[in-house]
């Protein structure tokens, strides 16, 4: 990968939740995002984030007698946390540079 990592608004929202709350399922991310994340795109975004190295996942051990596919839990990698924190610092610095209305 050349240059700095690119991070979308959706990826930032996911990382913010994972950094602050820890390991979560995709639907928990949607629920806790207060409308920012959509059910139809969260898993595609999580897959892309996994390819970029921002998050990692594991399959939840199935409960005895459980039916259906096991759920997948997502958590930020150290790299993902670092990218999120660097982006947050940069956003705050840029906000301070913007002219303020008198």
Render pLDDT for 50-77 as a digit per residue (tens, 0 to 9): 999 999 999 988 778 878 788 899 999 9
In a domain, 89, yes or no: yes
In a domain, 14, yes or no: yes
CB atoms within 10 A of CB 73: 16
Rg, C-alpha atoms of the chain: 16
> What tens digit of pLDDT does each residue of 13-29 get?
999 999 999 999 999 99
In a domain, 37, yes or no: yes
In a domain, 22, yes or no: yes
CATH label of the domain that carries residue 16: 1.10.10.10
Specify which residues 72 forms β-bridges with. 59
In a domain, 27, yes or no: yes
Domain limits for position 13: 9-60+67-97
In a domain, 102, yes or no: no
Number of structural domains in the chain: 1
In a domain, 4, yes or no: no
- Mapping DSSP to helix (H, G, I), strand (E, B) and coil, where does residue 24 land? strand
User: Is the separation of the CB atoms in 21 and 13 below 8 Å?
Assistant: no
- pLDDT at 101 > cutoff 70: no
Q: Which tokens go with 45? A: 């975004």
């Amino acid at each position: 990968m050349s240059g700095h990592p690119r991070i979308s608004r959706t990826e930032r929202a996911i990382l913010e939740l994972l950094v602050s709350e820890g390991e979560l399922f995709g639907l928990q991310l949607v629920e806790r995002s207060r409308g920012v994340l959509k059910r139809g795109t969260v898993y595609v975004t999580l897959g892309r984030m996994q390819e970029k190295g921002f998050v990692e996942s594991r399959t939840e051990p199935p409960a005895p007698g459980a039916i259906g596919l096991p759920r997948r839990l997502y958590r930020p990698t150290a790299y993902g946390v670092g990218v999120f924190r660097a982006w947050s610092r940069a956003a705050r610095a840029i906000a301070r540079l913007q002219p303020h209305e008198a």
